Amino acid sequence: MSSPEVLPDSEAKRWKYLNNVRTRPGAFVDPEEFDGSTVVENMNKIKILVIGAGGLGCEILKNLALSGFKDISVIDMDTIDISNLNRQFLFRHADVGKFKAEVAAKFVERRVKGVKITPYNCKIQDFDEDFYQQFQIVVCGLDSIEARRWINATLVNMASCENPDSMKPLIDGGTEGFKGQARVILPTMGSCIECQLDMHAPRAAVPLCTLASIPRQPEHCIEWAHVIAWDKEKPFPQLDKDDPEHITWLYQKALERAKEFNISGVTYSLTQGVVKNIIPAIAATNSVIAAACCNEALKIASSCAPFLGTPGEGEPNYMMYSGNDSIYTYTFKHEQKEDCPVCGMTARVLKVNPKWTLEELIESFATLPEAQLKKPSVRAEGKTLYMQLPPNLEEQTRPNLEKTLEQLGLTEGTELAVTDPAFVGVVFNFSLKFA
């Protein structure tokens, strides 16, 4: 089924009210500082990236296109499943099996003239900093904490003092059932996703022994099939949660076990839900959260009103929404963590001679006024240089002490993480500069 073309009688009419809002200073904007005449032209040039083209992503793409963004890119590795169609309104039955990013991009391009949407059917990890450098704003509609942490670390790492263009505001939306949140991260200028990690409740798990010996609920039987029976019997080399054959195998196993313990309620769709950790998605929650995110994008891009995450004392950066019991929202400031492993520790520049041995480098830590480390352990990304503990790792890394920094493959800009038992819980961060 193809959607009918809906065209406004004139383009000017379509954008009239949006332009009224974005080209005039809002109530909290200094009219002297705001120049409405350049807003449209500036926003036409902004490249904005949307990560995720699922429940939130569909809403975000539609909202951004209707908010006057003209150059949008979207990344999603997933293909369309029939169960997405109730809320992911850019997809039709005939699209099942196609890439979400591609179908969503085409749909919105067709409906909103003048918008260019570039789809990428892949993982965010497939791209490096050079790719992300081309965008001015990033909006996330993700369902995974791991992906959020990755893009957050990447954007924070890119933010460089020398180049203000490297600072990409990250707008993150998330929903779970009737609850959701919208937040704005200005990398290095405030609290980041890693600082806010404790805002995500860990997934509730059932003790392994309950699964193994006294299952009481259908979910226990499914988890048993998933974590115990699968490993024992290995019917396929690797569990693919999207492969119906694999889910069917788990479903049959769970059903047998449920029968044994007289438990009812194991179904194919429950099996899929438990294994993939699917939380029922509410279309309305997605649209509320996506709307909040896109309002922030519009405000950041146009400066027509103050945005969430504005740096400054007491300025909020986090909006939580709960529809569980009536409607409740609370907007507050999540503080930046001083010891945040991603944004908290600006690396100190350490001038070193590439001909130094690692031992000489380590000895130099003892005389650094800000550190004075007696027993430091040192690592770089993916490279263990020298660890004081545990004893076996000390032994394995001891030969490195005699090698020079060059020989160890350390280059300018490499960041060293240094820990010391005298400073429990503290990591010193140094960025190498060759002298």
Partner 1 sequence: MLKIWSMKKEQQKAENAAGAESGGKKKKVTAAQLRVQKDLSELSLGSTMKTEFPDPDDILNFILYIEPDEGMYKGGKFSFTFNITPNFPHEPPKVQCREKIYHPNIDLEGKVCLNILREDWKPVLNLNAVIVGLQFLFLEPNASDPLNKEAAEDLRSNREGFKRNVRTAMSGGTVKGQTYERVVQ
C-alpha separations of 50 from 57, 147, 158, 170 in Å: 7, 13, 18, 10
209 is catalytic: yes
Q: Which is nearer to partner 1, 327 or 426 (CB)?
A: 426
- The size of the chain, in residues, is 435
Among candidate residues 408, 357, 402, the one with its CA nearest the CA of residue 380:
408
Q: Which is nearer to partner 1, 4 or 390 (CB)?
A: 390
Shortest CB 384 distance to partner 1, Å: 5
Q: In this structure, what token pair is assigned to residue 358?
A: 């690692």
Shortest CB 289 distance to partner 1, Å: 21
Shortest CB 315 distance to partner 1, Å: 11
Shortest CB 1 distance to partner 1, Å: 40
Instruction: Please name the residue that has the structure tokens 């400054």.
Output: 312
Kindly report each contact of residues 21-26 with a partner whose C-beta sits within 8 Å and lies 24 or more positions away, as own/partner.
21/304, 22/68, 22/298, 22/302, 22/304, 23/302, 23/304, 24/304, 25/304, 26/304, 26/305, 26/306
Catalytic residue among 122, 161, 195, 209: 209
Shortest CB 88 distance to partner 1, Å: 26
Residue 38: strand, helix, or coil: helix
Q: Which is nearer to partner 1, 228 or 291 (CB)?
A: 228
Beta-sheet strand order (sheet of 137-141): 116-120, 71-75, 47-51, 137-141, 170-176, 179-185, 318-322, 328-332
Residues 293, 294, 300, 306: is their CA dihedral positive or negative? negative
- Active site (catalytic) residues: 209
